[in-house]
Amino acid sequence: HACNQGEDAYVYQEGDDAKYQRELSLVRDLPLALTQGQLHLVYQPKVNIQKNTCYAAEALIRWQHPELGFIPPDEFIKLAENSGNISMISEWVIAEAIAQASAWHQQGLDITVAINLSAHDLMDDTLPMRLAEQMNTINLPTYTLAIEVTEGAVMTDTETTIHVLNQFEAKGFHIAIDDFGTGHSSLAYLKLLPVNEVKIDRSFIKDIHQNATDHMIVDTSIKLIKGLHLSVVAEGVETPLGIDILQKMGCDIIQGYVYSKPIKAVEFQAWVTNFNH
């Protein structure tokens, strides 16, 4: 099928057909996944390394497709965003996360559940109020839910996003900037947005023990973020050496395989009970 006509011409490649078919299937099956219980959330601890306690968990979505097996969120979230299905998924994530936060709260576990929201979710200015009301009816304080947004999400329509995030803040939700450093105007967003927490992207963290540039970028970012009186999270820490280096830099919070991979709610509960003893 190759049609190789000069530099710019699209080159049809073996496998494109399969990829397209797969995407079609995933987009088609997504609504079904929601109603047939194929989606679930897993939870990854966020550990305060100054106090050595776990105070929060990030909720991450998982899709077990009946024929195609495990579908990574990086793959289907993008498809859901592009096909207009993301708000359906976000509503499901929100309901699920609130139910879990409520269960933990009732058991006396002091754990904030952080969810990921997409650009499209931040265009809905009724969302902060609806969320706050939903939590209010079950007597769950809004600080038990945190939202993570990427710089990319903010870029789409900055004015509306700032308005919606201000409402989230006014309702008492904790707000984190995700994947810090990978967007285009990170510093401008720190100034414009009502942020409580900044998560430094894993791409800067993973080689911190051997790469002087990454080391410098992370060290300086931590000073900047703390200078603004915000919490700083290092994402994707995999080794005790990583914890050590980040602790010396004054980092507050670590999330990564070094503590735990994302795990099911019951497993997380056991993990956190043991960790915080």
Can you give the length of the chain in residues? 277
Dist CA 241 CA 205 (whole Å):
12
Contact window for ligand C2E (CB under 6 A) among 28-36, 68-76, 212-220, 244-252: 68-76
Do the Cβ atoms of 189 and 199 come closer than 8 Å? no
Nearer to ligand C2E, 31 or 72 (CB): 72
Do the Cβ atoms of 253 and 233 come closer than 8 Å? yes
Nearer to ligand C2E, 128 or 262 (CB): 262
**In 3D, which of 213, 215, 196 has the Cα closest to residue 253?**
196
The beta-strand segments (E) located in the chain are 39-48, 53-65, 69-71, 112-116, 145-150, 174-180, 197-200, 231-235, 253-255
Which residues in 139-168 contact ligand C2E (CB under 6 A)?
148
Give the shortest CB-13-to-ligand C2E separation in angstroms. 26
Residue from the set 29, 151, 179, 252 that interacts with ligand C2E by CB under 6 A: 179
Do the Cβ atoms of 63 and 71 come closer than 8 Å? yes
> What tokens does 226 get?
């703390």
Instruction: Count the residues of the shown chain that bind Ca ion, applying the rule CB under 5 A.
Output: 5
Q: Which string of x and - marks every residue 91-120 that binds ligand C2E (by CB under 6 A)?
A: --x----------------------x-x--
Q: At 209, is the secondary structure helix, strand, or coil? A: coil
> What tokens does 104 get?
């933990």
Contact window for Ca ion (CB under 5 A) among 15-23, 33-41, 108-116, 164-172: 108-116
Dist CA 242 CA 214 (whole Å):
12
Nearer to ligand C2E, 108 or 176 (CB): 176
Nearer to ligand C2E, 128 or 236 (CB): 236
Give the shortest CB-222-to-Ca ion separation in angstroms. 16
Residue from the set 178, 232, 246, 252 that interacts with ligand C2E by CB under 6 A: 178
Residues 6+ apart with CB under 8 A from 66: 38
Give the shortest CB-108-to-ligand C2E separation in angstroms. 26
Dist CA 47 CA 234 (whole Å):
10
Q: Which string of x and - marks every residue 258-277 that binds ligand C2E (by CB under 6 A)?
A: ----x---------------
Residue from the set 236, 245, 246, 252 that interacts with ligand C2E by CB under 6 A: 236
Which residues in 3-32 contact ligand C2E (CB under 6 A)?
none
Dist CA 160 CA 176 (whole Å):
17
Residue from the set 29, 96, 148, 151 that interacts with Ca ion by CB under 5 A: 148
Contacting residues toward Ca ion, per CB under 5 A = 116, 148, 178-179, 235
